[in-house]
Amino acid sequence: MSTFTKTILFTDADGRARWRDEAIALSEGKPQALLSPLQPSGGYQLRHSPVGFRSQFHCTETPQWVFILGGQMEIGLQDGSSRVFKPGEHFFSDDRLPPGAAFDPQVHGHWSRQVGPDPLVTLFVRA
């Protein structure tokens, strides 16, 4: 059986954002067009970020898929690591603030920025 890799940005038990991969089975459809089971969604938004865009540390408010349509997006974590996503790549953003916690920009969340010569164009699909 084939799978789709869901790269997830999540909040770990220590309150810090981390990455993990999860397999989604492509268990439906036909051999020439394998499909995952239907996933729920709650609408979508498109975003255009100009060259030079960079956010501050923040947490995801609503879990969502992030698909890179154009340009490149870098996501940085509190541990100093970062990942760059290019057109056609994606991740699932779910690094929410832990229940009862007050946001601390030294502990929680991630930052994002546009990298490279082209504006960043993204599609956000709410889970």
Neighbours of 3 (CB within 10 A): 13
Identify the domain containing residue 27 by its residue range. Answer: 3-126
Would you state the pLDDT for residue 19? 98
pTM: 0.93
Cβ burial 68-86 (10 Å sphere, 16+ → b, else e): beebbbbbbbbeeeeeebe
CATH code of 103's domain: 2.60.120.10
Taking residues 64-70, report their average pLDDT. 98
CA distance 60 to 111: 10
Would you state the pLDDT for residue 63? 97
Structurally, the chain folds into a number of domains equal to 1
